[in-house]
Chain A
Amino acid sequence: MYRQTEIIKEAVPGSNGETGEFTINVGPQHPATHGVLHLVITLSGETIKKVEPHLGYIHRSIEKMCESLTYRQFIYVTSRMDYLSSHINNHACALCVEKGMQIEVPPRARVIRVLMDELTRIASHELWWGAMAMDLGAFTPFFHAFRERESINDIMEETCGARLTMNYMVPGGVMQDIHPNFQKRVKEFIRLYKRKIDEYDELVTGNIIFQNRMKGVGVLTPEDAVSYGCSGPVTRGSGVSSDIRKLYPYEIYDKLEFDEVLETGGDSFARYLVRIREMQQSIRIIEQLIDQIPEGDFQAKTKAVLKLPKGEFYTRVETARGELGVYIVSEGGTTPYRIKFRSPGFSNLSVLDHIARGSKIGDLVAMMGTLDLVIPDIDR
């Protein structure tokens, strides 16, 4: 009855005698998919002819769930979408509610939010770096990446009370004030990070095997990147400016000095470099703000029950994976009438078939690594 059984039935005899093509199921349990992604690949020898994603293995219908949660409650669910940038997801939702309610967020809260966002971005890219190196067969970088990531998680734990799904954002500010140690710990992390960043190049970036695995693999032209709705480092690797923080600044990003990282290669190596350099830009943002956290409230005074006015609200933020859109349709009640999360992973996945055709099965792993797919984000 289910799709899966059919595929297996058709796939066991395997090959089509004339063309020598055969299908192979990658996933839903496969080491390279980092989650329950199911790809049906048509192969001719080692060459990929077609990649067909089958989704839904962890679809929780967060959009439907949010329809029965209030505007304070629904924020926590979004941590479970893209769990690696849960802070930024929460931030997007909080921003959308604030836009609807026209809540003025105190400056201290804004700065804290941006600091947390950038820390989350670094943590997410660290995990991506380690996991991608592991996909390519180098296991050591994974542990080295986790060393830095853990120190960010410790900072998060101290201030937000959790390591991964913090639920720190509330409409109108943040839930608690930062921990007194926060600034000290962040500075320690920046020192650690700057000491270790060269090792990343020694271990992975400069490695000739790695470069050969990455260069010219999965080339995405700028036109295709835009047409497929890609966002984040995937488009910036193709040279298309798409950083929401620069183009449609939210919070205090317009007052900050940072560069939008652009690479023109369009291949996996370009996407790799974008993420590596983005981490350094995030460090730059944190350095600007860490001593400049203004005094004041960390949360605006809001009503106990939030009611968005009738209408439609859309916010776009830049998560670690790309553009996250939150689209709330309100009927004036305490719960959203319809909510849509435009997740970056879903669109980035759709480009996989296009860039994978004609390359080897080993390249597919490299491409999936640099697209940085987080499956709960795709399935929502």
Chain B
Amino acid sequence: MFIVKYIKDVWGAIASLATGMKRTLYYFTHHKEIITQEYPDNRDSLVMAERFKGEVVMPHDEKNEHRCTGCTACELACPNGTIKVITKFDISPEGKKKKAIDKLVYHLELCTMCNLCVEACPSDAIKMAQTFEHSVYDRKQLTKILNHPGSKIMEGVE
């Protein structure tokens, strides 16, 4: 009958709306379900995943030595021209010329964190750091030189 169907429609509609309202009321009253992270305040307790790809860094040991041989594998692997290896020739104590890096220029503003350079590196000289707060006021600051001033290649890395 028309009237019965009409009333059923109205009742069904109200019931379906009430179900949704019950669910939102649940969340309104249960504040432990809140998932907001108050980001700049929780910086101290923030744990980044150890594999997080934030920027490329070159680890140096306490003697200010790195593992980079200047082979330009990372430069070739990079799809965006982010890395530029500038090499020089060191004269070793025996008088032999040896290729070494002068500067490893890294353009953070071009980097897409694809990890291909780290994969390509034969001597594990570079790795990804977990930093992510990269914003600066001047774009020039994003161009970084990865090897520290005065650093040398580690003994035994070929």
Say if the two chains contact directly (CB < 8 Å).
yes
Question: A226 on the interface (CB 8 Å rule)?
Answer: no
Kindly list chain A residues whose C-beta atoms are within 8 Å of the C-beta of B16: 206-208, 211
The answer to whether B19 and A206 touch across the interface, beta carbons within 8 angstroms, is: yes
- Given A76-B112, A175-B119, A203-B24, CB of A161 within 8 Å of CB of B51: yes
Kindly list chain A residues whose C-beta atoms are within 8 Å of the C-beta of B20: 202-204, 206-207
The answer to whether A161 and B19 touch across the interface, beta carbons within 8 angstroms, is: no
Which residue of A has the minimal Cβ distance to B37?
A150
> Which of A157, A175, A207 contacts B52 (CB under 8 A)?
A157
Question: A69 on the interface (CB 8 Å rule)?
Answer: yes
A-B contact count (CB 8 A): 70
The answer to whether B51 and A160 touch across the interface, beta carbons within 8 angstroms, is: yes
Question: A136 on the interface (CB 8 Å rule)?
Answer: no
Question: A124 on the interface (CB 8 Å rule)?
Answer: no
Q: How far is the CA of A170 from the CA of B116 in the complex (A)?
A: 9
Question: B139 on the interface (CB 8 Å rule)?
Answer: no
Q: How far is the CA of A202 from the CA of B22 in the complex (A)?
A: 9
Question: B4 on the interface (CB 8 Å rule)?
Answer: no
> Which of A170, A199, A208 contacts B13 (CB under 8 A)?
A208
Question: A251 on the interface (CB 8 Å rule)?
Answer: no
Question: A158 on the interface (CB 8 Å rule)?
Answer: yes
Kindly list chain A residues whose C-beta atoms are within 8 Å of the C-beta of B17: 207-209
Which residue of B has the minimal Cβ distance to A144?
B27
The answer to whether B79 and A69 touch across the interface, beta carbons within 8 angstroms, is: yes
Classify chain A's interface size: 20 to 34
B31 to chain A, nearest CB (A): 14
- Given A150-B35, A161-B49, A208-B16, CB of A76 within 8 Å of CB of B114: yes
Kindly list chain A residues whose C-beta atoms are within 8 Å of the C-beta of B24: 140, 203
Question: A16 on the interface (CB 8 Å rule)?
Answer: no
Question: A242 on the interface (CB 8 Å rule)?
Answer: no
Q: Mark B2-34, 1 if CB is under 8 A from A, else 0.
A: 000000000011001101101110010000000
The answer to whether B79 and A77 touch across the interface, beta carbons within 8 angstroms, is: yes
Question: B113 on the interface (CB 8 Å rule)?
Answer: yes
Point out which of A165, A167, A170 has the most chain B C-beta atoms below 10 A from its C-beta.
Answer: A167
Kindly list chain A residues whose C-beta atoms are within 8 Å of the C-beta of B116: 72-73, 76, 167
Kindly list chain A residues whose C-beta atoms are within 8 Å of the C-beta of B53: 161-162
Question: A159 on the interface (CB 8 Å rule)?
Answer: yes
Question: B77 on the interface (CB 8 Å rule)?
Answer: yes
B20 to chain A, nearest CB (A): 5
Kindly list chain A residues whose C-beta atoms are within 8 Å of the C-beta of B49: 154, 157-158, 161, 179
Which residue of A has the minimal Cβ distance to B130?
A161
Question: B72 on the interface (CB 8 Å rule)?
Answer: no
Question: B115 on the interface (CB 8 Å rule)?
Answer: yes
Question: A147 on the interface (CB 8 Å rule)?
Answer: yes
Which residue of B has the minimal Cβ distance to A157?
B49
Question: B146 on the interface (CB 8 Å rule)?
Answer: no
Question: B128 on the interface (CB 8 Å rule)?
Answer: yes
Question: A288 on the interface (CB 8 Å rule)?
Answer: no
Question: A176 on the interface (CB 8 Å rule)?
Answer: yes
- Given A72-B77, A150-B35, A208-B13, CB of A159 within 8 Å of CB of B19: no
Which residue of A has the minimal Cβ distance to B14?
A208
Q: How far is the CA of A140 from the CA of B28 in the complex (A)?
A: 11
Which residue of A has the minimal Cβ distance to B36?
A143
Q: How far is the CA of A157 from the CA of B35 in the complex (A)?
A: 18
Kindly list chain B residues whose C-beta atoms are within 8 Å of the C-beta of A158: 49, 51
The answer to whether B35 and A161 touch across the interface, beta carbons within 8 angstroms, is: no
Q: How far is the CA of A203 from the CA of B16 in the complex (A)?
A: 9
The answer to whether A73 and B13 touch across the interface, beta carbons within 8 angstroms, is: no
The answer to whether A175 and B19 touch across the interface, beta carbons within 8 angstroms, is: no
Q: How far is the CA of A199 from the CA of B23 in the complex (A)?
A: 7
Kindly list chain B residues whose C-beta atoms are within 8 Å of the C-beta of A157: 49, 51-52
Q: How far is the CA of A166 from the CA of B24 in the complex (A)?
A: 34
Q: How far is the CA of A207 from the CA of B27 in the complex (A)?
A: 18
Kindly list chain B residues whose C-beta atoms are within 8 Å of the C-beta of A74: 79
| Interface contacts beyond A147-B35, A161-B49, A175-B119: sample of 8 additional A-B pairs, CB < 8 Å, sorted by A | A73-B79, A73-B116, A76-B79, A157-B51, A162-B52, A162-B53, A202-B19, A207-B20
Residues of A within 8 A of B (CB): 69, 72-74, 76-77, 140, 147, 150, 154, 157-162, 165, 167, 170, 175-176, 179, 199, 202-204, 206-209, 211
Residues of B within 8 A of A (CB): 12-13, 16-17, 19-20, 22-24, 27, 35, 49, 51-53, 77-79, 112-116, 119, 128
Identify the 3 closest CB pairs spanning chains A and B, nearest first. Answer: A73-B79, A161-B51, A76-B114
